[in-house]
């Protein structure tokens, strides 16, 4: 029996080694020139990226067309609420839809704040070929996914002329470039959060944005006009890291709050015991 067990173990080991060898061979990089693209960054990407310009004023006098084809100025969407700005183009085959899908998913994860009531969103196409009809189709699609009352008054999809688009993109530090080889735009993926008066408050990179981070950002950008005392305490424990485009815990502030809470609890305990001691003495 022991002999058979050893034979089976050897066979099983040999099969595992064979499978591992096949997998390694399949994943190994091919040798020689088989038409694979070189491991070099395309030169067009040197023109693409995002330069953070925190606290810079965005030109609110810029004029665009809304999804109904009506001329509008950016200042119409500012004044009282924070504004999320997303630069995309409506014919984008992949990345732009991922940005808007990620934003919509994040918005659905923020239960307490609603688009239109607590903040606005301005989505601007940087492709001059896009028109109000394309903007209207995009708005209908994403409002259907969001499904909250009043959001149609707060989420706007704009198109415009090259000069206006470029001025907005430059003020946000958003760089993009047209790639004639593939007939597409090369661009980065991010959303920007602006204060009610049009200053850049925060950047959120990628295609997924944690609801907690965006909620904290909205509270900060609104200068405390929305949110609760608990939110402000959480903001004390979490600070915005512009390098990562997200919030992180501030250990020192957390320790300070923990120490304060400990002192309050101990102080309350001593006070109660002191009161009890005085009550006992008075009875005597």
pLDDT tens-digit map of 156-188? 999 999 999 999 999 999 999 998 988 899 998
- The proportion of the chain whose per-residue pLDDT surpasses 70, expressed as a percent, equals 65
CB distance 136 to 157 below 8 Å: yes
d(CA 124, CA 284): 79
pLDDT at 181: 86
pLDDT at 41: 64
Q: Which residues lie closer than 8 Å to 168 by C-beta, 6 or more apart?
A: 58, 59, 62, 74, 87, 124
262 vs 28, higher pLDDT: 262
pLDDT tens digit string along 38-61?
566 678 778 889 999 999 999 999
44 vs 18, higher pLDDT: 44
Q: Examine residue 102 and state whether it is found in any structural domain, yes or no.
A: yes
Q: Examine residue 19 and state whether it is found in any structural domain, yes or no.
A: no
CB distance 198 to 78 below 8 Å: yes
Q: For all residues of the chain together, what is the average pLDDT?
A: 79
Name the token pair of 81. Answer: 């609420």
d(CA 220, CA 194): 10
CB distance 193 to 84 below 8 Å: yes
- The proportion of the chain whose per-residue pLDDT surpasses 90, expressed as a percent, equals 56
At 278, the pLDDT band (50, 70, 90 cuts) reads: low
Closest by CA to 237, choosing from 253, 260, 259, is 253
d(CA 38, CA 61): 45
Q: Examine residue 126 and state whether it is found in any structural domain, yes or no.
A: yes
Q: Examine residue 134 and state whether it is found in any structural domain, yes or no.
A: yes
Q: Examine residue 247 and state whether it is found in any structural domain, yes or no.
A: no
CATH of the domain at 135: 3.40.30.10
pLDDT tens digit string along 208-235?
999 999 999 999 999 865 444 454 454 4
278 vs 239, higher pLDDT: 278
Q: Examine residue 198 and state whether it is found in any structural domain, yes or no.
A: yes
pLDDT at 250: 45
Q: Examine residue 221 and state whether it is found in any structural domain, yes or no.
A: no
Give the mean pLDDT of 56-85.
97
d(CA 195, CA 83): 6
If you count DSSP H runs as helices and E runs as strands, how many of each does the chain have, helices first? Answer: 7, 12
Q: Examine residue 123 and state whether it is found in any structural domain, yes or no.
A: yes
The answer to pTM > 0.75 is no
Domain that holds residue 162: 44-209
CB distance 65 to 73 below 8 Å: no
Question: Cα angle at 191 between 177 and 183, to 5 degrees?
Answer: 25
Total number of domains in the chain: 1
Q: In DSSP terms, which residues pair with 177 in a beta bridge? A: 186
């Amino acid at each position: 029996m022991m002999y058979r067990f050893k034979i089976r173990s050897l066979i099983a080991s040999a099969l595992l080694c064979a499978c591992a060898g096949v997998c390694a061979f399949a994943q190994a990089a091919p040798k020689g020139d088989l038409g694979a693209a070189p491991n070099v960054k395309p030169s067009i990407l040197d023109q693409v990226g995002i330069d953070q310009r925190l606290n810079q004023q965005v030109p609110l006098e810029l004029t665009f067309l809304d999804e109904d084809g009506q001329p509008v100025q950016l200042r119409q969407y500012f004044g009282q609420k924070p504004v999320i700005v997303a630069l995309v183009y409506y014919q984008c085959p992949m990345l732009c839809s991922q940005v808007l899908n990620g934003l919509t998913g994040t918005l659905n994860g923020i239960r307490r704040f609603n688009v239109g009531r607590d903040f606005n969103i301005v989505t601007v196409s940087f492709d001059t070929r896009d028109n109000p009809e394309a903007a209207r189709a995009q708005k209908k699609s994403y409002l259907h996914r969001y499904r909250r009352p009043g959001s149609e008054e707060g989420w706007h999809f704009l198109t415009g002329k090259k000069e206006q688009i470029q001025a907005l993109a430059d003020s946000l530090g958003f760089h993009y470039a047209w790639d004639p080889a593939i007939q597409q735009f090369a661009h980065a993926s991010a959303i920007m959060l602006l204060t009610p008066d049009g200053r850049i408050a925060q950047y959120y990179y990628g295609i997924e944005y944690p609801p907690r981070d965006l909620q904290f950002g909205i509270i900060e950008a609104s200068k405390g006009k929305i949110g609760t005392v608990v939110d402000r305490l959480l903001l004390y424990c979490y600070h915005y890291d512009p390098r990562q485009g997200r919030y992180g815990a501030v250990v020192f502030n957390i320790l300070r709050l923990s120490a304060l809470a400990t002192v309050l609890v101990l102080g309350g305990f001593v006070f109660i015991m002191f009161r009890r001691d005085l009550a006992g003495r008075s009875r005597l």
